[in-house]
Each structure stands twice: as structure tokens, then as C-alpha cells.
């Protein structure tokens, strides 16, 4: 919408909450350091156009919910295949468990390298684009953020296991109360190069993958981001609030508290939980305070410091869950949990890209309905990928035409008939199988009814 567009993205000053300029405020993506870095590398007649991508695997046959992403800020970029590689022959159970996942990662990276080729070109050389006023501007497009859950974060970064995508922490380091040295894309590429040097082109792929696992890598030899200009995948991947904070609290800290005082006491009045450890209460409160702050639409330097203090309090008191013997409800004395470790990196993520609400996986979860599940429902379930693309193309054309008509209608006419701007009033009719539109993706890539929409 015109009212949502940044009028002059070439000149975005820093924002402060005080007149002395001591407390910088981070909100929209243009308030982060990444935007200002991009401004420093573009030409005088060029403007920054940051690309924010989101991906999330979904079963297209599951359909529920009635919410609609009515602002149309995101568009479908591609459907990525999720193949099971069920016919892959394996020599042992370890290979049978690991090999298909590595093949899937290599396929995803190969597809993204093709899909993002134009993005790579637009990052190196400015391309003309027409803004909402009809004026032509020279744009430099950079991959600025990628919204994904933890599993896909590691897949995108070409890392294996539970390694952190922001620092060099591996599985054994995740329980530490402080982060490791910051990770960079060149660090990952260096590890991949070291593994590749040990083998020749005739080496069995499984031998290469096993060596990658020894270096906490995902088995990908050519990551899609290795030649993207001004892009460090370790800074692009976002730590989101939905899975990284809210779901992590539900899965871990909330369950630890329940284990400490039993579900029966949880169901009784709050006054009956006095048996709870004071340290456990402090750790729980600190985590909740951290989550509440992360949900704000704008954060100042003082807020970021408080978030770090909350995280410090949690790590100082987390031992209470181990002492009670109820940590995870099983014999376990460590906190090597990726989502708990990720809280160390929210500050640097906010400094680069603004407030976390800009890149929550709620976006990709919500778009499942429109671009995957609803699109699949409009097909006859045969050769469905092409039909889904045809259906989505038509929905976008109808939406754009509605916007064009709305621009000519007087305001009183809109109110009389109901302003349908931002919604799609189109029946889920079956798509025409004779549509002549050509698409680069073929149905043969999809071996199961599961896809990864990238928006």
C-alpha cells in the first residue's frame, strides 16, 4: 500500500528516544545497522531495496484456519521440493537415517542457487524499478533477512546437528552462559573447503557427508549464498520470537516448572506452589521478561541492555531445575538446547535488522493458508504444483485489478459497498489445466505432498 511505503529509503537517519542521542531506537528494518551498511556501498543515484525471505515446510493436504494475509507485503517466490529419497540404498541404519536428510539439503541449496540468481545480479548492479508513484528508480537488492525455524536455519547455513548459526558454538557449547566467537559465512565456507580437500571427485558421497558431520556441517558442498554480494548468511538468518521464545518457553521452562511442583499443584491455586524453588522462580520470571521485551515493536539501547540482564539472571539461576531432579523430566544435567542458546544473539540481531516482530515465523506460518494449503485445495490433486502456480497467479492479478478499481472509486462509494481492499473475493474454483503459462519447476521434483514455500 502507498501508505506503507518508505518515501525516501535512500536517506534514513538514525532514531533516538532522547535529545542527547544516547538511546538509539530500533524498530522497522530501516532502523538497523544492516540498512545503513547497504547505503554506504550503493551509488549516489541508487536506492536500497532489502529482500526479506521466509520459508517453512508444510503438508499441502492439511487445511485449517480462516486468517488471510491481507496486506500483500509478501509474494510467493517459489515452491521448494521436499523429497524423501525413499528408494536410496543404505549400507547401515546410520546411513539410512542421515543420508536422505543430507540429500534433501543439497537439493534445496541447488534449487535456491537457481531461484536467487536474479537477486545476485541485482545486488551487484542496480536495476530499474517503478515505485508506487510511477517513477523509475535504480535499485540495489540485497538479501537482508531470512525467516525460518531452527531446523531450516541450520539447513540454510549448511550446518549440521544443533550448531548455532550466529556464533561458532557447537552442540557441547550450547549450555554455556555466554556466546562463542561470532560466526561468519567465510568460516563455514572454510570448513567446507577443508573437507573437500580430503577427497577427490570419485569419492563416494557418503564418505564426504560423514566427514562433514565430524565438522558440524550439513553435507552441502556448494551453499546457495556463497556468491551473493554483501551477504553473510550468519547475519541474515533471524532468530524469531514464535519458535525461538514462545514455543521454547512452553517446551522447556514451563515443563521444568511443572515437573518441579507436579501438574496437580499447577492446577490448584497459585498460593499452593510455595514449594517451588526461589531460584527457579527467578529464572522463569527472567525468561518471561526477556520474551515480553522481544515482542515490542521498538526497542532502545536501554531495552537491549535489560534483555541481556534478564538472560544473565536466567543462566545464573537455571541450576535450580537440575537440582530438583526435574530438568526435562529425565536424567539430564545440561542445558545444551539451541533455542535457549539463541537468546545470546537477539541483541546483535536487533542491532542489524530492527525489532524481532519484523521477522517472526508467524509470517510464514500464516502464509501457509494462502499460498500452499488453499492453493492445493483449488486443484484436482493431480499435477498439482503447476495448478497451484496458475491459481496463485490469477489471485494476484485479481487483487491488483481490485486495487486499480479502488483508486478510481469515491470514498463514499467504497463505504456504501464495503471496502474490500486487501482481501480476495474469489471462489476457490478449479484451475484450468489448459493454461498455457510456462513454469520452471516441474512436478517430478516433488515426490511427496510436502513443499517449502519461499516468500
Considering the chain, what is the average pLDDT of its residues?
Answer: 78
pLDDT of residue 189: 95
Q: For residue 429, what pLDDT band results from cuts at 50, 70 and 90?
A: very low
In this predicted structure, what is the pLDDT of residue 343?
A: 92
Q: Average pLDDT in the 265-277 region?
A: 59
Instruction: Summarize pLDDT for 116-142 with one digit per residue, the tens.
Output: 999 999 999 999 988 777 788 899 999
Q: Which long-range contacts (CB under 8 A, 24 or more apart) does 282-286 make?
A: 282/313, 282/317, 283/253, 283/313, 283/314, 283/316, 283/317, 283/318, 283/320, 283/321, 284/253, 284/257, 286/310, 286/311, 286/313, 286/314, 286/317
Strands 127-130 and 136-147: antiparallel
Three-state DSSP state, 129? strand
Reply yes or no on whether the pLDDT at 5 is more than 60: no
Q: Supply the pLDDT for residue 268.
A: 67
Residue 48 C-alpha cell reads as 536500497
- Sequence-separated (6 or more) residues with CB below 8 Å from residue 60: 372, 373, 375, 376, 384, 388, 449, 450, 451
Cα gap 89→95, rounded to integer Å: 9
Q: SS3 for 26? A: strand
Half-sphere exposure at residue 127, Cβ-oriented, CA atoms within 13 angstroms? 11
**pLDDT at res. 444:** 37
pLDDT average, residue stretch 332-355: 86
* Span 312-326, average pLDDT: 80
Angle of helix 33-41 versus helix 346-353 axis, rounded to 10: 40
Q: Greater confidence, 23 or 330?
A: 23
Is the pLDDT assigned to residue 436 strictly greater than 60? no
Strands, sheet with 450-454, edge to edge from the N-terminal-most edge strand:
58-59, 450-454, 78-81
Can you tell me the mean pLDDT for 140-163?
89
Give me 143's grid cell.
538479501
Residue 159 has phi, psi (to 5 degrees) of -105, 155
CA distance 156 to 360: 17
Q: Is the pLDDT of residue 423 over 50?
A: no
Is 56:452 a contact under the CB 8 Å cutoff? Answer: yes
Q: What is the DSSP letter of 11?
A: -
- What's the 3-state SS for 377-444? HCCCCCCHHHHHHHHHHHHHHHHHHHHHHHHHCCHHHHHHHCCCCCCCCCCCCCCCCCCCCCCCCCHH
pLDDT beyond 60 at 438: no
Q: Would you state the pLDDT for residue 43?
A: 86
The helix/strand/coil state of 134 is coil
Confidence tier at 422 by pLDDT (50, 70, 90): very low
The upper half-sphere exposure of residue 78, i.e. CA atoms within 13 Å in the direction of its Cβ, equals: 19
The listed range with the strongest mean pLDDT (39-48, 282-291, 320-329, 357-366) is 282-291
Q: Which three cell numbers stand for residue 259?
A: 515437573
Residue 120 and residue 230 in contact, taking contact as beta carbons nearer than 8 Å: no
Looking at residue 405, its pLDDT comes to 72
In terms of pLDDT, which residue wins out, 86 or 116? 116
Sheet holding 127-130, edge to edge: 46-54, 136-147, 127-130
Average pLDDT over every residue of 304-322: 91
Amino acid at each position: 500500500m502507498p501508505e506503507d511505503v518508505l518515501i525516501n529509503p535512500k536517506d534514513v537517519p538514525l532514531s533516538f528516544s532522547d535529545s542527547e542521542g544516547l538511546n538509539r531506537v530500533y524498530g522497522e528494518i530501516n532502523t538497523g545497522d544492516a540498512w545503513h551498511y547497504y547505503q554506504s556501498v550503493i551509488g549516489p543515484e541508487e536506492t536500497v531495496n532489502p529482500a526479506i525471505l521466509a520459508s517453512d515446510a508444510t503438508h499441502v493436504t492439511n487445511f485449517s484456519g480462516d486468517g488471510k494475509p491481507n496486506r500483500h507485503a509478501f509474494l510467493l517466490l517459489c515452491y521448494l521440493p521436499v523429497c524423501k529419497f525413499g528408494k536410496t540404498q543404505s549400507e547401515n541404519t546410520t546411513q539410512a537415517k542421515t543420508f536422505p536428510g543430507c540429500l534433501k539439503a543439497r537439493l534445496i541449496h541447488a534449487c535456491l542457487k537457481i531461484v536467487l540468481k536474479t537477486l545476485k545480479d541485482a545486488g551487484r548492479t542496480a536495476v530499474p524499478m517503478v515505485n508506487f508513484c510511477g517513477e523509475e528508480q535504480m535499485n540495489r537488492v540485497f538479501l537482508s533477512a531470512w525467516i525460518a525455524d531452527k531446523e531450516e536455519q541450520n539447513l540454510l547455513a549448511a550446518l549440521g546437528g544443533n550448531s548455532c548459526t550466529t556464533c561458532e558454538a557447537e552442540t557441547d557449547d550450547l549450555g554455556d552462559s555466554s556466546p562463542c566467537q561470532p560466526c561468519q559465512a567465510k568460516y563455514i565456507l572454510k570448513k567446507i573447503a577443508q573437507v573437500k580437500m580430503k577427497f577427490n571427485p570419485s569419492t563416494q558421497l557418503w564418505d564426504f557427508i560423514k566427514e562433514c558431520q565430524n565438522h558440524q556441517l550439513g553435507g552441502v558442498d556448494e551453499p546457495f549464498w556463497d556468491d551473493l554480494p554483501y551477504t553473510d548468511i550468519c547475519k541474515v538468518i533471524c532468530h524469531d520470537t514464535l519458535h525461538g521464545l514462545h514455543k521454547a518457553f512452553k517446551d522447556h521452562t514451563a515443563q521444568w516448572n511443572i515437573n518441579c511442583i507436579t501438574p496437580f499443584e499447577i492446577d490448584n491455586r497459585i498460593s499452593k506452589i510455595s514449594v517451588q524453588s526461589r531460584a527457579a522462580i527467578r529464572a522463569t520470571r527472567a525468561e518471561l521478561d526477556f520474551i515480553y521485551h522481544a515482542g515490542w515493536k521498538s526497542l532502545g539501547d536501554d531495552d537491549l541492555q535489560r534483555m541481556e540482564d534478564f538472560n544473565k539472571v536466567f543462566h545464573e539461576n537455571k541450576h535450580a531445575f537440575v537440582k530438583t531432579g526435574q530438568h526435562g523430566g529425565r536424567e539430564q544435567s545440561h542445558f545444551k538446547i539451541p533455542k535457549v542458546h539463541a537468546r545470546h544473539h537477539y541483541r546483535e540481531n536487533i542491532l542489524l535488522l530492527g525489532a524481532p516482530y519484523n521477522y517472526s515465523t508467524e509470517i510464514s506460518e500464516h502464509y501457509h493458508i494462502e499460498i500452499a494449503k488453499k492453493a492445493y485445495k483449488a486443484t484436482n490433486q493431480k499435477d498439482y504444483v503447476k495448478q497451484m502456480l496458475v491459481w496463485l497467479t490469477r489471485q494476484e492479478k485479481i487483487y491488483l485489478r481490485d486495487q486499480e478499481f479502488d483508486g478510481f472509486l469515491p470514498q463514499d462509494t467504497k463505504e456504501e459497498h464495503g471496502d474490500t481492499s486487501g482481501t480476495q473475493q474469489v471462489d476457490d474454483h478449479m484451475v484450468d489445466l489448459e493454461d498455457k503459462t510456462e513454469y520452471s519447476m516441474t512436478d517430478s521434483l516433488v515426490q511427496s505432498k510436502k513443499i517449502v514455500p519461499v516468500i
